[in-house]
Amino acid sequence: MNYRKIGIVSLSTALAIGSFTASVSAEEAATKQTEAEGEQMVEISSADVDFTKEDLINRFNELFPSRFDSLENSDFRMSHLRGPGSEEDVLTHHLSFDRETTDGKRVYGNVRFIGEELQLQSFTYQPGNVQDALYPAEVTQEEAEAVAREFVNNTASGDYTLSEQQRPTITAGNQTLTDPVEYQFTFQRMKNGIPVQHQTIRAAVLGNGELSSYSHGTYQQQSASYEEQENILAEEEAETSMKENLDLRLQYAVQHDYQTDEQDVSLVYVPSPTIQGIHAKTGEWSINNSFVSELPEEEQLQRLREEPLEEESAPVSREDVKQMAKDLLTVSGDAELNIRSIQETTRNGVDVFSLRYMIQRGSSGHGTNFVVEKETGDIVDFRNVDYSERSPEENLTKEEALEAAVEAAETYGSSFIHEFAYPVDNESSSPLNSEGTYRFSFPQVKNGLPVQGSSLSITVSAEDGELVSFNNRRNGDITNWPDPENAVDKETALEDYKNELNADLSYASHAEQGDTDTYHLVYQPSYQSNGLYYDAAAGEWTESQLTQNESPAEEVVTDHWAADQINYMVQSGILSTDEEKELKPNEAVSKGTALEMLMKSMENFYPGNPNEEQTATFENIQPDHSSFQVVEQAVESGVINAENNTFPVDETLTREELAVWIVRVLNLEQAAKHKDIYNLPFEDASGISEKYAGHVALAHAEGILQGSDGRFNPDDDVTLAHLAVTCFRLAEKQPNNQ
C-alpha cells in the first residue's frame, strides 16, 4: 500500500507519452507549468465584493458541519482574488484559520471558494494532534476511499468516479514516522459514462478518517454544454486513422533526478505533430486546441542566429536591474510600481539578481519576481502581472508578434540566442488569447535536434508587441548529449508506437481558443506503456527518472512479523532499497543503515547538492557520500559524536549502542549520565557496559527497548526487523505525538 504524499509533477510526467491528459507537448506542458507558477493573483478589496466573512464562514460550516465548531470568527482571515486573465465576474474567495488549542498546539488550514455559487475549489487542514492518524492507521484505504467519495459526491456538481489513471508524482525527501498516514485519491469527472478532460478532483484522508485536503482543479461554468454521443466514429476507425497518420520526431529530453539534483538527457522519439485527438463527430484532427481537416506539415528547425551576437554581454549591478524593471514594467495611470527588494542568489548554478516587485492599485496589489543573470544581464524570468488589467487592441498579426518576440530574445537573451530556434509546429506557439497576447516557445537546439524541457518562452502584446513575459528554461550545463547517430531508425520506433496505440473517447474543450463552455467528443491517443517514454538509443519503452526514483508501492517483505513496519518505512523513503539486494529482516543492520532509519524516522531530509563550503565531520563521509546529510545532521543533533576521524558506516550496531542513540534522540543524555540511580532488571545487567547503563535503563523505562527471557543481550547485533519496530516506538514518544 502506498502512503506517500503527493508532490510536484515534473517534466518527467510529460514524458509519459501515454498519459490520459497528454493534450499538449511535454515542452509546452512544462512551460505552462512554469508560467503558471510565476503568475500572481490579483487581490480585490472587500468593499468591491458582495460576500462578507460571515457568508464564507457559513458556507464553510455547511460543508463541514460540527467539525470546526471550536473556531471563532476572529480565527478566520478573508481575502478575495482574481488570477491574471480570468473572467472579471469570477472571483476566488479565501478563508484561512489558525487557532492555538488549550494544550499549546495549533490548528490551521485554508479554504477557497469560486464563483457566485461559492463552489469549493480547495481545502487544506492540519489538526493540532495527529496521534490518532499515525501508522498503523485507524482506517483502511478502502474506508478512507469511502470518506473521500462521500465528500466528493456531496460537494462537487457532476458525476465523479475514482480515476484509474493516477498521474506520476514525485516526493521530495522522506516522510517521517511522526507524519500522519495520508491516503491520496483522484476522481475523474464523467459525462454519460465518458471522462471529461481536465476535470479532476484530488482528495486526501488522514489515517484517522478525517479529510485533510481537497482540490478541484478547473472551474466549470454552469452553462457548459456537451456533444451528444450520436453518429460518432467507431473506436476502431479512429485508432486506424491515428496509426496511418502517426509520424515521429527525434529529439532530446531532459530529466531531473530529484535524488541527486542532477540532470540527465536522453534521445527520444515523440509524435509529430502532437495529435491531441480526432473529433468523434467530424473526423477532424484536434491540434493545438483547435480542429483542422488536415495535419500540418512538420517544419524544419531554423535557429534564431547561427552564431552568437558579436557584442559581448556585460555584468549588471543592482541599480541596472532596478532600472530594467522600471523600463519593462509599464503600468496604467491609476497604478504604482513598488520595488520591494533585490536579492543576490543562484538559479540552476548561475548567479542572479532576484527583484521582488508589487503593483499597487488602490487597496489591491499583485506582483512577482523579476530574475536577471548577474554576469550577462540576460533575463531569466519576467512577467508584467499588471498587463491583465488592460484592454489592449488587437493590432498585430501572429507573424508581426513573432518578430517582436524575436527582437525581445535578441535584446534580453543575447548571450544564448544562438542556442534557440524558431517555433516548430503550431504547438510551439499560442494564438491570440483573451488577454490580448501571443505566446511563443523557442526550443533549445543541440546537434540539430530540439530539446524537450528546455525552451525560451516569450509573450508579447497583440497591440504593440510590448514584452509581457520572458522565461528562459535552457539547460546550459549539460555536456553528455547523446549522439543522434546512435538512435534506432524511425521505422522501428513507429512500429513500436503503433503496437502500443489505443484510441480513448473523452470530452474536451478548447479553452485557449475561448471555447471554454463547449465540450467536444474526442478520441485521444493513449499508449499501453503509460508512464514510459520511448528511448531512441535503446529502441524500447523506458521508465522515466521520475518513476525510477519513486519508492516501491508494492510490498518488499512478506511473511514476517515486522513486514508491515518495514514496508511502510520503504514506501515512506526512510529505508533505502537496492534492486540487486534483497531485504532480509533477520539479518544484522549496519550502523550506516541504522542511522539513516533512525534519523529519517524523526526528520525530513531533502535531496540536493551539498553546500560546497560545508566541511565533512568524518574523513570517510564526504559531501558526495550517500549518507552525508544523515551523518552530519546526526552529529549536529548530538545523536553521534565526532570523537573519531571516521564513522564506521559498515559495522553492525549492537543493542546497547542503539540504546545510546535512542536516549540522545529523546534528549535524555544528561539524565543517562547518572547511571548509579537506575536499576537494570536484567539477568545479564553485569554484561552491559558501565558507560551505557543509564542509556539502557532509560530506553527500557520508556518502553522502546525490551529484553528477552529476562536478558537484555547488550552485545547482540540489531536486526533490521527489530530496528524497524524500535523506530515506531520511538516516534510515539516524540512531543508532537503525545
Q: Which residue has the cell 513486514?
A: 563
Least confident among 282-291, 530-539, 583-592, 609-618: 609-618
Closest CA to 273 of 12, 523, 509, 28: 28
Per DSSP (E only), the strands in 405-536 are 429-430, 437-446, 449-461, 467-472, 501-510, 515-527, 532-535
pLDDT digits (tens, 9 = 90+) for 560-596: 999 999 999 998 999 988 766 889 999 999 999 999 9
pLDDT value for 17: 29
pLDDT digits (tens, 9 = 90+) for 614-624: 689 999 999 88
**Phi and psi, residue 461, nearest 5°:** -70, 140
- Strand-pairing partners, residue 430, are 439
* C-alpha cell recorded at residue 447: 546537434
Q: Tell whether the model's pLDDT for residue 356 goes beyond 70.
A: yes
pLDDT digits (tens, 9 = 90+) for 204-243: 999 999 999 999 977 666 668 899 999 999 999 999 999 9
Percent of the chain scoring above 70 in pLDDT: 83
In this prediction, residue 286 has a pLDDT band, given cuts at 50, 70 and 90, of: very high
- Interval 316-331 mean pLDDT: 93
665 vs 367, which has greater pLDDT?
A: 665
Percent of the chain scoring above 90 in pLDDT: 60
CA distance 422 to 402: 9
pLDDT digits (tens, 9 = 90+) for 695-713: 999 999 999 999 999 999 9
Least confident among 29-38, 119-128, 156-165, 190-199: 29-38
* C-alpha cell recorded at residue 671: 539524565
Q: Measuring CA to CA, how many Å separate 631 from each of 91, 551, 638, 656? A: 49, 22, 11, 20
C-alpha count within 13 angstroms, C-beta hemisphere, residue 571: 21
Residue 410 · residue 417 · CB < 8 Å: yes
The reported pTM is: 0.79
Closest CA to 149 of 84, 227, 87, 214: 214
Q: Measuring CA to CA, how many Å separate 467 from each of 8, 370, 403, 459, 462? A: 29, 13, 12, 6, 10
Consecutive H or E run containing 396: none
SS3 700: helix
Closest CA to 315 of 341, 350, 349: 350
Say which residues have a Cβ less than 8 Å from residue 121's Cβ, sequence separation at least 6. Answer: 92, 112, 113, 114, 215, 216, 219
